[in-house]
Amino acid sequence: MKIIESSKIKEKAYVEQLENGLTVIIVPKKNTKKKYIIWGTHFGSIDNRFIMPKTEEEVFIPDGVAHFLEHKMFEQPNGTNSLDTLMALGIDANAYTTNDHTAYLFECTNHFEEGLNELMDYVQHPYFTDENVEKEKGIIGQEINMYDDDPSWKLYINAMNCMYKENPIKIDIAGTIESISKITPDVLYKCYNTFYHPSNMIMVVCGDFIPENLIEEIKKRLLPKENQGEIKRIYPQKEDKINKKYETAQMEVSVPIFMLGFKDMQNSKEEKVKKHIAIEILLNMIIGKSSKLYAKFYKEGLLLSEPSLDYEFSNEYAHILISGTSKDPKKIEQGILETIKQMKENGLDEEHFERIRRKVYGDYVVEYNSVGDIARMFLADTIKGVQTFDYIEQFETVTKEYTQEILKSVFKEENEILSVVNPIQN
């Protein structure tokens, strides 16, 4: 078992790749009552075209399969639902699908062993029939309609459509009513057998555990699986330019909501973490709660609350998103672009940079107070090919000069987009 650690925050992670290829990461937290486990597969909404490892068959699946599969995994042949079984034990269980992974998880203070039994049983025993798949189409269809009526989701999908022409990130994670109508048990089993192989999965556990003992408990519950080769995923060619500058929609909102984005081209594996840190610092300097621009907009009544600041990336996409509520999104866009231009011309203010840098570092450290945050971070980062502790360990390498370079190379006006959802006009 390999031990990785962060000397700065005195945390350790025990990592072992089992014979069947499953990566298990255990982050012990002494004297913590809560226990958290998350079991994820590197299969998300963007993985809609691939070559199966054993048969070399090229498969093109309907949009929404990863999410549909996540929903179906809880159903058991005896008519029970594993989610209900876990909840009945007093265990808080859930699952989710993102662009690049699907995850099954639970959090508890008691009954961890029973929870582990149930989790490892249902994730390893898919049960798909014509009848239960047809029934699920109605349930997910309602969910899709609900998302279609959600202004925040429309805002995000339109932003992706502005940034990308062919990239599957612009597709709704749940798919469409039409795309899920094409899902069959055969499609689900093909995807399960390809992507739910242990070599494509990661399990992260955080809590008061003895790592060596826990690994043995996990091994006991794993079903034997033959090794399979690498999954060849087929993605569209990467696009340098944005698809369109602006997109708007009208929905049931009282005040316009906006999402301003900058499309980025992902860099080398070595630079992912460093760049991410620099971008977080820059976003906080530009329009974070303690920035001059935020104070100005708030005073003028242009920004109704602190904007949300995000940097999303994988090997297939990378973009910055600034979202919020404003009666005049175009003025917000103008102010942000003008601030970026001034920061490029005048250089970053030393005092402001250091203050924000300390704030961002503090945010990273605080995440280690929560077993759930720790486990989810390790899963998402491992799928992205990132070592989670690097955000702490590499922090000192992010200098003002390096951050200035990232400002110039990433925050380019030609790569900027704006998505707006306006109130419906009577």
- 15 and 152 part of one domain: yes
- 229 and 298 part of one domain: no
- 298 and 193 part of one domain: no
Residue-level length of the chain: 426
Distance of CA 165 to CAs 160, 172, 320, Å?
9, 14, 17
Q: Which of 208, 233, 258 is the last residue of a domain?
A: 233
Strand partners, 249: 421
- Structural domain contains residue 123: yes
Q: Which of 206, 233, 260 is the last residue of a domain?
A: 233
Task: Give the chain as a 3 state SS string.
Answer: CEEEEECCCCEEEEEEECCCCCEEEEEECCCCCCEEEEEEECCCCCCCEEECCCCCCEEECCCCHHHHHHHHCCECCCCCEHHHHHHHCCCEEEEEECCCCEEEEEEECCCHHHHHHHHHHHHHCCCCCHHHHHHHHHHHHHHHHHHHCCHHHHHHHHHHHHHCCCCHHHCCCCCCHHHHCCCCHHHHHHHHHHHCCHHHEEEEEEECCCHHHHHHHHHHHCCCCCCCCCCEECCCCCCCCCCCCEEEEEECCCCCEEEEEEECCCCCHHHHHHHHHHHHHHHHHHHCCCCHHHHHHHHCCCCCCCCEEEEEECCCCEEEEEEEECCCHHHHHHHHHHHHHHHHHHCCCHHHHHHHHHHHHHHHHHHHHCHHHHHHHHHHHHHHCCCCCHHHHCHHHCCHHHHHHHHHHHCCHHHEEEEEEEECCC
- 117 and 222 part of one domain: yes
- Structural domain contains residue 255: yes
- Structural domain contains residue 239: no
- 405 and 285 part of one domain: yes
- Diameter over CA atoms, the chain: 68
Q: Quote the CA–CA distance of 14 and 78 in Å, as a whole number.
A: 37
CATH (domain of 319):
3.30.830.10
- 82 and 179 part of one domain: yes
- 297 and 221 part of one domain: no
11-17 and 92-97 as β-strands: parallel, antiparallel, unpaired?
unpaired
Q: Which of 233, 264, 290 is the last residue of a domain?
A: 233
Tell me the HSE value of 232 on the side-chain side, using a 13 A CA sphere: 9
- Structural domain contains residue 238: no
Tens of each residue's pLDDT in the chain, 426 residues: 999 999 999 999 999 999 999 999 999 999 999 999 999 999 999 999 999 998 899 999 999 999 999 999 999 998 899 999 999 999 999 999 999 999 999 999 999 999 999 999 999 999 999 999 999 999 999 999 998 899 999 999 999 999 999 999 999 999 999 999 999 999 999 999 999 999 999 999 999 999 999 999 999 999 998 888 889 999 999 888 999 999 999 999 999 999 999 999 866 677 899 999 999 999 999 999 999 999 999 999 999 889 999 999 998 999 999 999 999 999 999 999 999 999 999 999 999 999 999 999 999 999 999 999 999 999 999 999 999 999 999 999 999 999 999 999 999 999 999 999 999 986
Instruction: Output the pLDDT for position 55.
Output: 87
Which domain range does residue 219 map to?
2-233
Structural domain count of the chain: 2
pTM (2 decimals)? 0.95
Closest C-alpha among 307, 316, 317, 322 to residue 263: 317
Instruction: Output the pLDDT for position 347.
Output: 96
Which residues are the active-site residues?
70
- Structural domain contains residue 241: no
- Structural domain contains residue 222: yes
- Structural domain contains residue 240: no
Q: Indicate the burial class of 87 (C-beta count within 10 angstroms; 0-12, 13-18, 19 or more).
A: middle
- 250 and 189 part of one domain: no
- 176 and 296 part of one domain: no
- Structural domain contains residue 64: yes
Q: Quote the CA–CA distance of 355 and 325 in Å, as a whole number.
A: 26
Q: Indicate the burial class of 262 (C-beta count within 10 angstroms; 0-12, 13-18, 19 or more).
A: buried
Contact status, residue 298 vs residue 314, Cβ threshold 8 Å: no
Strand partners, 398: none
Strand partners, 246: 418
Instruction: Output the pLDDT for position 236.
Output: 94
Q: Quote the CA–CA distance of 168 and 66 in Å, as a whole number.
A: 13
- 310 and 224 part of one domain: no
- 24 and 117 part of one domain: yes
- 217 and 286 part of one domain: no
Instruction: Output the pLDDT for position 267.
Output: 64
Closest C-alpha among 267, 255, 241, 98 to residue 162: 241
Instruction: Output the pLDDT for position 265.
Output: 82
